[in-house]
Amino acid sequence: MKAIIDRYIDAHGLRFCELADDIWGFAELKFAEHQSCETHALALEQEGFRVQRELGGMPTALLGEYGSGEPVIALLGEYDALPGLSQTAGSPERHPLQHQGPGHGCGHNLLGGASLLAAIALKHAMVEKGLGGTLRYYGCPAEEGGSGKTFLVRAGAFDGVDAALTWHPDSFNGVSTFSNLANLQAYFRFAGRASHAAISPHLGRSALDAVELMNVGSNYLREHMPADTRLHYAITDSGGRSPSVVPHHAEVLYLMRGGEMNTVLDLFERVKKVAAGAALMTETQMSVQFDRATSSVLGNFTLEKLLQECLEQTGGAQADEDDQRLGRQFRATFSDEDIASAYSDLGLARDDSVLHQGIVPFTEERQRVYASSDVGDVSRVVPTAQLYMACYAIGTAFHSWQMVAQGKSAFAHKGMLQTAKVLANAGAALLTDTTRVKAAWEEFAALSVDTPYRCPIPSDVLPPV
């Protein structure tokens, strides 16, 4: 199987690199990835996959399926970009293509490209070997602040899946054995009474005062939060531009994070009480609009060890002098702190490498990463594993213009193709050895017994499409 898969990817990889570059150019934001989604759908249809568009009621979600019977193996792809990160490809200086335009600052053009190629390469191996089982490719929208996979899980899109595999572009090569944070985001709106701030201030009721008092109260709350929780906010409506008018409307967006969803939900209840207190103090009315939520990742060592095996057999991308030269140009734009942090986050000793070409040692110690991903919700209903592959210079920050600029580089393409081989070969191992699937489910069941999954998004909250 490995020889068939690797041969297919070597022969057809350029076409999928061009597809990833097209997605880079589309740079479509969450829930609006129409061209990106259709590009993936057409590629799947051309390869004989049964394609279901508008999966889970979302216009930019899709499912491609090949084969029948068990096991059912899923590969997850993404293709959404980020606002404000437009950047000229290959330029180590800040040169936006469009002022405040979007850009692929998290590498999802590569993420989707590799997962898509892996699915198609594995399908060809299944055909050549006459292999049974079902292969699924999920085109997942709105990972960036939209909880697209959470909505898909709630809609039952992953019912019947035996194992799910995915990856993320990075500056290092390894398998993710990290846990992360669940999160929940909600808008708090305050309504007051407008009045002239000098002539009749006593008649006004300031909604902006309520927002500010809520923020003060929340900051005092931090002392009494569990150690692994985080609280962030942004004022999204300050009530107007004239200081001579008592603001009668104001809004603040809160993002709450924690190691488990139950912890986040408890924090949400306390923050709502703080908001109610702010409304009481200012004689304003407060309302809450739930926006989104994602669960923390439930790791699976059975699948993670399989990915590590396949990664060690395949290796990471190997850089030539042109790759190194471009990497050095970008490295010059990073702070020493950026570079040091890249190593320390993985517990690695710093060296002089510009591009990582080795493999991070596997660890069974679950370390906490203080970020969030909607892959977490998939991992709570299906055994799931992820790897990361070097596509950028060491020290490249996520959600940065430097990541956008490197998203079409030759080294990024090499990383994408190596990832496709790892994912496809891991999928082949699961299709041909169902004892691995059984072991993954036994591990999943043992970890889930005390924390059964409950979708964190209320049933009446719909995707904003």
Which residues neighbour 413 within 8 Å (Cβ) at sequence distance 6 or greater? Answer: 13, 17, 20
Cα-to-chain-centroid distance, residue 39: 20
Is the N-terminal amide bond of 169 cis, ω within 30° of 0? Answer: no
Which pLDDT does position 68 carry in this prediction?
98
pTM of the prediction? 0.96
Residue 432 CA to its chain's centroid (Å): 29
- At residue 450, the pLDDT reads 87
Fold (topology level) of 2-179+296-448: Aminopeptidase (3.40.630)
Per residue in 430-440, is it b (16+ CB within 10 Å) or e — as a string? bbbeeebbebb
- Interatomic CA distance for residues 290 and 264, integer angstroms: 13
- In angstroms, the Cα distances linking 299 to 179, 247, 322 are 7, 47, 37
Q: Quote the pLDDT of residue 156.
A: 98
> If you search the block for the tokens 């003060």, which residue do you land on?
216
The pLDDT assigned to 367 comes to 86
Pair 394, 339: CB distance under 8 Å: yes
Measure the CA–CA gap between 154 and 334, rounded to whole angstroms. Answer: 40
pLDDT tens by residue, 224-279: 999 999 999 999 999 999 999 999 999 999 999 999 999 999 999 999 999 999 99
CA–CA separation, 241 and 235 (whole Å) = 14
Strand pairing category for 72-78 and 133-140: parallel
Closest CA to 7 of 463, 426, 417: 417
> Which CATH number among 3.30.70.2860, 1.10.10.1100, 3.30.70.360, 3.30.2420.10 corresponds to the domain 182-292?
3.30.70.360
Q: What are phi and psi of 79, to 5 degrees?
A: -160, 20
137 and 113 Cβ atoms separated by less than 8 Å:
no
- Among the listed residues 426, 391, 384, 387, the one whose alpha carbon sits nearest the alpha carbon of residue 405: 391
Three-state helix/strand/coil letters over the chain: CHHHHHHHHHHHHHHHHHHHHHHHHHCCCCCCCHHHHHHHHHHHHHCCCEEEECHHHCCCCEEEEEEECCCEEEEEEECCCECCCCCCCCCCCCCCCCCCCCECCCCHHHHHHHHHHHHHHHHHHHHHHCCCEEEEEEEECCCCCCCHHHHHHHCCCCCCCCEEEEEEEECCCEEECCECCEEEEEEEEEECECCECCCCHHHCECHHHHHHHHHHHHHHHHHHCCCCCEEEEEEEECCCCCCCECCCEEEEEEEEEECCHHHHHHHHHHHHHHHHHHHHHHCCEEEEEEEEEECCCCCCHHHHHHHHHHHHHHCCCCCCHHHHHHHHHHHCCCCHHHHHHHHHCCCCCCCCCCCCCCCCCCCCCCCECCCCCCHHHHHCCCCEEEEEEECCCCCCCCCCHHHHHCCCCHHHHHHHHHHHHHHHHHHHHHHHCHHHHHHHHHHHHHHHCCCCCCCCCCCCCCCCC
The tokens describing 282, both together, are 């200012």
Is residue 307 a contact partner of residue 206, using CB atoms and an 8 Å limit? no
Q: Is 70 exposed, middle or buried (0-12, 13-18, 19+ CB in 10 A)?
A: middle
How far apart are the C-alpha atoms of 326 and 414, rounded to whole Å? 14
* Residues written for the chain: 465
Could you tell me the two tokens for 128? 């050549």
Q: How far is CA 427 from CA 97, 165, 377, in A?
A: 38, 8, 20
Q: CATH 3.40.630.10 residue ranges in the chain?
A: 2-179+296-448
CATH 3.30.70.360 domain residues, the chain: 182-292
Ranges of the chain whose pLDDT falls below 70 = none
Query: 460 near 289, Cβ under 8 Å?
Result: no
Residue type, 452: P
Q: What is the pLDDT of residue 451?
A: 87
